[in-house]
Amino acid sequence: MAYPDRVAAGENERVGAQEEVLHGGNTGHVVRVADTVRRRAGHWTPAVHALLEHLAEAGFDAVPRPLGTDEQGREVLTYVEGVAGALGPQRLPAAFQTLDACRAIGAWLRGFHDAQEGFLPDPALPWRVSPGRPLRPGEVVVHHDVGTYNTVLRPDGSFAVIDFDFASPGDPLEDLAYILWSWTPLWHDPRAVRREMGEVTMADRLHKFAALVDGYGADAGQRARVIDAVPECMEGHARTVEELAAEGDPAFVRMHAEGHADRPRRDAAWFVRRRDLFAAAAAPDATR
Protein backbone atom coordinates (compact mmCIF):
# COMPACT_ATOMS: atom_id res chain seq x y z
CA MET A 1 0.00 0.00 0.00
CA ALA A 2 1.20 3.51 -0.69
CA TYR A 3 0.07 7.10 -0.92
CA PRO A 4 1.34 9.48 -3.59
CA ASP A 5 3.34 11.88 -1.43
CA ARG A 6 5.48 9.17 0.09
CA VAL A 7 9.09 10.11 -0.65
CA ALA A 8 10.96 7.32 -2.41
CA ALA A 9 14.72 6.90 -2.48
CA GLY A 10 16.68 7.67 -5.60
CA GLU A 11 18.74 5.31 -7.67
CA ASN A 12 19.11 1.66 -6.77
CA GLU A 13 22.20 0.84 -4.71
CA ARG A 14 24.43 -2.18 -4.73
CA VAL A 15 24.65 -4.42 -1.67
CA GLY A 16 27.53 -6.85 -1.93
CA ALA A 17 28.15 -8.43 -5.32
CA GLN A 18 24.74 -10.02 -5.79
CA GLU A 19 21.93 -7.97 -4.28
CA GLU A 20 20.54 -4.70 -5.62
CA VAL A 21 18.17 -2.79 -3.36
CA LEU A 22 14.99 -1.75 -5.16
CA HIS A 23 13.45 1.41 -3.77
CA GLY A 24 9.93 2.75 -4.04
CA GLY A 25 7.68 0.72 -1.76
CA ASN A 26 6.30 1.66 1.61
CA THR A 27 6.12 -1.63 3.45
CA GLY A 28 9.12 -3.83 2.82
CA HIS A 29 12.79 -4.26 1.91
CA VAL A 30 13.07 -5.57 -1.67
CA VAL A 31 16.23 -6.65 -3.50
CA ARG A 32 17.01 -7.90 -6.97
CA VAL A 33 19.29 -10.90 -7.45
CA ALA A 34 19.96 -11.57 -11.14
CA ASP A 35 16.54 -12.16 -12.71
CA THR A 36 14.74 -12.59 -9.41
CA VAL A 37 13.29 -10.39 -6.68
CA ARG A 38 13.64 -11.27 -2.99
CA ARG A 39 11.33 -9.75 -0.40
CA ARG A 40 10.05 -10.41 3.09
CA ALA A 41 7.72 -13.38 3.29
CA GLY A 42 4.74 -13.39 5.63
CA HIS A 43 1.97 -15.68 6.74
CA TRP A 44 0.12 -14.63 3.57
CA THR A 45 2.90 -15.62 1.13
CA PRO A 46 1.75 -19.23 0.47
CA ALA A 47 -1.75 -17.98 -0.42
CA VAL A 48 -0.33 -15.34 -2.76
CA HIS A 49 2.01 -17.84 -4.42
CA ALA A 50 -0.88 -20.23 -4.99
CA LEU A 51 -2.72 -17.42 -6.79
CA LEU A 52 0.32 -16.47 -8.88
CA GLU A 53 0.94 -20.11 -9.80
CA HIS A 54 -2.66 -20.41 -11.00
CA LEU A 55 -2.28 -17.26 -13.11
CA ALA A 56 0.91 -18.63 -14.68
CA GLU A 57 -0.81 -21.91 -15.50
CA ALA A 58 -3.68 -19.95 -17.04
CA GLY A 59 -1.21 -18.18 -19.35
CA PHE A 60 -1.53 -14.78 -17.67
CA ASP A 61 2.06 -13.51 -17.77
CA ALA A 62 1.53 -9.89 -16.69
CA VAL A 63 2.47 -10.69 -13.08
CA PRO A 64 5.61 -12.08 -11.43
CA ARG A 65 6.00 -15.85 -11.19
CA PRO A 66 6.64 -17.32 -7.74
CA LEU A 67 9.85 -19.31 -7.27
CA GLY A 68 9.49 -20.32 -3.63
CA THR A 69 11.72 -18.99 -0.85
CA ASP A 70 15.47 -18.58 -0.43
CA GLU A 71 17.87 -19.59 2.35
CA GLN A 72 16.95 -16.44 4.29
CA GLY A 73 13.25 -17.28 4.18
CA ARG A 74 12.48 -14.49 1.72
CA GLU A 75 9.98 -15.06 -1.04
CA VAL A 76 11.52 -15.31 -4.51
CA LEU A 77 9.73 -14.00 -7.60
CA THR A 78 10.71 -13.39 -11.20
CA TYR A 79 11.93 -9.85 -11.88
CA VAL A 80 9.66 -7.88 -14.22
CA GLU A 81 11.72 -5.85 -16.68
CA GLY A 82 10.52 -2.38 -17.60
CA VAL A 83 9.83 1.11 -16.30
CA ALA A 84 8.13 1.23 -12.92
CA GLY A 85 5.54 3.82 -12.03
CA ALA A 86 6.65 6.46 -9.56
CA LEU A 87 5.91 6.78 -5.85
CA GLY A 88 7.10 10.37 -5.43
CA PRO A 89 8.84 12.66 -5.40
CA GLN A 90 9.60 12.13 -9.08
CA ARG A 91 6.96 12.77 -11.73
CA LEU A 92 4.96 9.81 -12.98
CA PRO A 93 6.28 8.89 -16.46
CA ALA A 94 4.19 10.37 -19.26
CA ALA A 95 3.51 6.91 -20.68
CA PHE A 96 1.45 6.13 -17.55
CA GLN A 97 -0.73 9.22 -17.93
CA THR A 98 -2.35 8.77 -21.33
CA LEU A 99 -5.88 7.62 -22.04
CA ASP A 100 -4.38 4.58 -23.77
CA ALA A 101 -2.52 3.76 -20.55
CA CYS A 102 -5.77 4.01 -18.60
CA ARG A 103 -7.51 1.68 -21.03
CA ALA A 104 -4.54 -0.70 -20.86
CA ILE A 105 -4.50 -0.96 -17.05
CA GLY A 106 -8.26 -1.40 -17.10
CA ALA A 107 -7.79 -4.26 -19.57
CA TRP A 108 -5.02 -5.71 -17.36
CA LEU A 109 -7.45 -5.75 -14.46
CA ARG A 110 -10.10 -7.55 -16.52
CA GLY A 111 -7.50 -10.10 -17.62
CA PHE A 112 -6.35 -10.62 -14.03
CA HIS A 113 -9.89 -11.26 -12.86
CA ASP A 114 -10.81 -13.49 -15.80
CA ALA A 115 -7.63 -15.58 -15.47
CA GLN A 116 -8.76 -16.62 -12.00
CA GLU A 117 -11.50 -18.82 -13.40
CA GLY A 118 -11.32 -22.16 -11.60
CA PHE A 119 -9.09 -20.87 -8.81
CA LEU A 120 -10.23 -22.02 -5.37
CA PRO A 121 -8.15 -20.61 -2.52
CA ASP A 122 -7.02 -23.15 0.04
CA PRO A 123 -8.85 -22.23 3.29
CA ALA A 124 -5.77 -23.39 5.22
CA LEU A 125 -3.69 -20.60 3.62
CA PRO A 126 -4.49 -17.22 5.20
CA TRP A 127 -4.37 -13.85 3.46
CA ARG A 128 -2.68 -10.85 5.06
CA VAL A 129 -5.93 -8.95 5.54
CA SER A 130 -9.11 -10.83 6.48
CA PRO A 131 -7.10 -14.06 6.82
CA GLY A 132 -10.09 -16.40 7.14
CA ARG A 133 -12.16 -14.75 4.40
CA PRO A 134 -13.68 -17.31 1.98
CA LEU A 135 -14.25 -16.72 -1.73
CA ARG A 136 -17.98 -16.09 -2.17
CA PRO A 137 -20.08 -16.42 -5.35
CA GLY A 138 -19.30 -13.66 -7.83
CA GLU A 139 -16.05 -12.74 -6.11
CA VAL A 140 -12.41 -12.93 -7.16
CA VAL A 141 -9.14 -12.52 -5.34
CA VAL A 142 -8.74 -8.75 -5.34
CA HIS A 143 -5.25 -7.27 -5.65
CA HIS A 144 -6.27 -4.24 -3.54
CA ASP A 145 -3.23 -2.16 -4.53
CA VAL A 146 -3.07 -1.66 -8.31
CA GLY A 147 -1.58 1.80 -8.02
CA THR A 148 0.69 3.33 -10.64
CA TYR A 149 3.58 2.60 -8.23
CA ASN A 150 2.90 -1.16 -8.43
CA THR A 151 2.78 -1.16 -12.22
CA VAL A 152 5.61 -1.81 -14.68
CA LEU A 153 5.58 -0.70 -18.32
CA ARG A 154 7.31 -3.58 -20.08
CA PRO A 155 9.55 -3.25 -23.16
CA ASP A 156 6.73 -4.50 -25.41
CA GLY A 157 4.49 -1.63 -24.27
CA SER A 158 2.21 -3.74 -22.07
CA PHE A 159 1.67 -3.35 -18.34
CA ALA A 160 2.47 -5.84 -15.60
CA VAL A 161 1.52 -5.49 -11.94
CA ILE A 162 3.56 -6.48 -8.89
CA ASP A 163 3.18 -6.65 -5.08
CA PHE A 164 0.27 -8.94 -4.22
CA ASP A 165 0.77 -8.70 -0.44
CA PHE A 166 -2.73 -7.34 0.14
CA ALA A 167 -4.57 -9.73 -2.15
CA SER A 168 -7.66 -11.35 -0.65
CA PRO A 169 -11.17 -12.38 -1.76
CA GLY A 170 -13.62 -9.62 -2.52
CA ASP A 171 -15.87 -7.88 -5.02
CA PRO A 172 -14.10 -7.23 -8.35
CA LEU A 173 -15.26 -3.62 -8.11
CA GLU A 174 -12.88 -3.12 -5.18
CA ASP A 175 -10.00 -3.38 -7.67
CA LEU A 176 -11.72 -1.19 -10.26
CA ALA A 177 -12.35 1.45 -7.59
CA TYR A 178 -8.68 1.36 -6.59
CA ILE A 179 -7.36 1.94 -10.10
CA LEU A 180 -9.85 4.79 -10.51
CA TRP A 181 -8.50 6.33 -7.31
CA SER A 182 -4.84 5.97 -8.25
CA TRP A 183 -4.83 6.46 -12.00
CA THR A 184 -7.41 9.26 -12.53
CA PRO A 185 -6.28 10.43 -9.87
CA LEU A 186 -9.06 11.03 -7.35
CA TRP A 187 -6.94 13.05 -4.93
CA HIS A 188 -8.24 16.00 -2.95
CA ASP A 189 -4.89 17.83 -2.82
CA PRO A 190 -4.08 19.72 -6.05
CA ARG A 191 -0.46 20.09 -4.93
CA ALA A 192 -0.04 16.31 -4.83
CA VAL A 193 -1.60 16.04 -8.29
CA ARG A 194 0.75 18.67 -9.75
CA ARG A 195 3.79 17.13 -8.07
CA GLU A 196 3.04 13.62 -9.31
CA MET A 197 1.37 14.25 -12.68
CA GLY A 198 1.74 17.90 -13.62
CA GLU A 199 -1.33 19.93 -14.53
CA VAL A 200 -4.41 17.69 -14.60
CA THR A 201 -7.73 19.42 -15.23
CA MET A 202 -11.12 18.14 -14.13
CA ALA A 203 -11.82 17.35 -17.79
CA ASP A 204 -8.63 15.25 -17.85
CA ARG A 205 -9.77 13.36 -14.77
CA LEU A 206 -13.20 12.67 -16.19
CA HIS A 207 -11.70 11.37 -19.45
CA LYS A 208 -9.27 9.12 -17.55
CA PHE A 209 -12.05 7.86 -15.29
CA ALA A 210 -14.10 6.91 -18.34
CA ALA A 211 -11.10 5.29 -20.08
CA LEU A 212 -10.36 3.12 -17.04
CA VAL A 213 -13.95 1.90 -16.83
CA ASP A 214 -14.03 1.31 -20.59
CA GLY A 215 -10.73 -0.57 -20.49
CA TYR A 216 -12.12 -2.89 -17.84
CA GLY A 217 -15.15 -3.54 -20.02
CA ALA A 218 -17.54 -2.71 -17.19
CA ASP A 219 -21.19 -3.42 -17.84
CA ALA A 220 -23.97 -0.96 -17.04
CA GLY A 221 -24.49 -2.33 -13.55
CA GLN A 222 -20.78 -2.16 -12.70
CA ARG A 223 -20.57 1.40 -14.03
CA ALA A 224 -23.35 2.43 -11.68
CA ARG A 225 -22.09 0.53 -8.64
CA VAL A 226 -18.46 1.58 -8.91
CA ILE A 227 -19.43 5.15 -8.01
CA ASP A 228 -20.26 3.95 -4.50
CA ALA A 229 -17.33 1.51 -4.49
CA VAL A 230 -14.79 4.34 -4.85
CA PRO A 231 -15.34 6.06 -1.47
CA GLU A 232 -15.83 2.64 0.16
CA CYS A 233 -12.41 1.63 -1.20
CA MET A 234 -10.83 4.78 0.22
CA GLU A 235 -12.39 4.22 3.64
CA GLY A 236 -11.30 0.57 3.55
CA HIS A 237 -7.73 1.65 2.83
CA ALA A 238 -7.81 4.03 5.79
CA ARG A 239 -9.12 1.31 8.10
CA THR A 240 -6.43 -1.13 6.97
CA VAL A 241 -3.69 1.39 7.76
CA GLU A 242 -5.22 1.95 11.20
CA GLU A 243 -5.63 -1.76 11.93
CA LEU A 244 -2.10 -2.73 10.91
CA ALA A 245 -0.66 0.23 12.79
CA ALA A 246 -2.59 -0.84 15.88
CA GLU A 247 -1.12 -4.34 15.49
CA GLY A 248 2.35 -2.78 15.66
CA ASP A 249 3.49 -3.32 12.06
CA PRO A 250 6.41 -0.84 11.89
CA ALA A 251 5.71 0.27 8.31
CA PHE A 252 2.09 1.01 9.10
CA VAL A 253 2.89 2.70 12.40
CA ARG A 254 5.01 5.10 10.34
CA MET A 255 2.41 5.43 7.59
CA HIS A 256 -0.31 6.17 10.13
CA ALA A 257 1.86 8.85 11.71
CA GLU A 258 2.40 10.37 8.24
CA GLY A 259 -1.36 10.70 7.66
CA HIS A 260 -1.98 7.73 5.40
CA ALA A 261 -5.31 7.07 7.11
CA ASP A 262 -6.48 10.69 7.02
CA ARG A 263 -5.76 11.47 3.39
CA PRO A 264 -7.92 8.71 1.88
CA ARG A 265 -10.87 10.03 3.88
CA ARG A 266 -10.29 13.52 2.52
CA ASP A 267 -10.08 12.01 -0.97
CA ALA A 268 -13.42 10.28 -0.33
CA ALA A 269 -15.06 13.53 0.75
CA TRP A 270 -13.64 15.26 -2.35
CA PHE A 271 -15.03 12.51 -4.60
CA VAL A 272 -18.48 12.38 -2.99
CA ARG A 273 -18.94 16.10 -3.65
CA ARG A 274 -18.25 15.43 -7.35
CA ARG A 275 -19.84 12.00 -7.68
CA ASP A 276 -22.44 13.13 -10.22
CA LEU A 277 -19.71 14.31 -12.60
CA PHE A 278 -17.90 10.98 -12.40
CA ALA A 279 -21.13 8.99 -12.63
CA ALA A 280 -21.94 10.79 -15.87
CA ALA A 281 -18.44 10.11 -17.20
CA ALA A 282 -18.74 6.40 -16.42
CA ALA A 283 -22.22 5.99 -17.85
CA PRO A 284 -22.44 3.56 -20.80
CA ASP A 285 -23.97 6.23 -23.05
CA ALA A 286 -21.43 8.92 -22.19
CA THR A 287 -19.83 10.68 -25.14
CA ARG A 288 -16.19 9.66 -25.35
The rounded distance, in Å, linking the Cα atoms of 253 and 276 is 36
Q: Is it true that 13-78 and 83-282 share their CATH fold?
A: no
Asked if residue 17 has pLDDT above 70, the reply is no
Tell me, what's the pLDDT at 285? 77
Asked if residue 190 has pLDDT above 80, the reply is yes
SS (H, E, C) 156-219: CCCEEECCCCCCEEECHHHHHHHHHHHHCCCCCCHHHHHHHHCCCCHHHHHHHHHHHHHHHCCC
Question: Residue 85: which pLDDT band, with cuts at 50, 70 and 90?
Answer: very high
Question: Residue 86: which pLDDT band, with cuts at 50, 70 and 90?
Answer: confident
What is the DSSP secondary-structure string of 234-285? HHHHHHHHHHHHHTT-HHHHHHHHTTTTHHHHHHHHHHHHTHHHHHHHHSTT
Residue closest to 176 by CA, chosen among 146, 151, 205: 146
Residue ranges of domains in the chain: 13-78, 83-282
Q: What is the mean pLDDT of the chain?
A: 91
- The percentage of residues in the chain with a pLDDT greater than 70, rounded to a whole number, is 90
Question: What pLDDT digit, counting tens, does each position of 118-137 carry?
Answer: 999 999 999 998 888 899 99
CATH code 3.10.20 for 13-78: no
| Phi, then psi, of 5 in degrees rounded to 5 | -95, 10
Tell me, what's the pLDDT at 2? 42
| Class at the top of the CATH hierarchy for domain 83-282 | mainly alpha
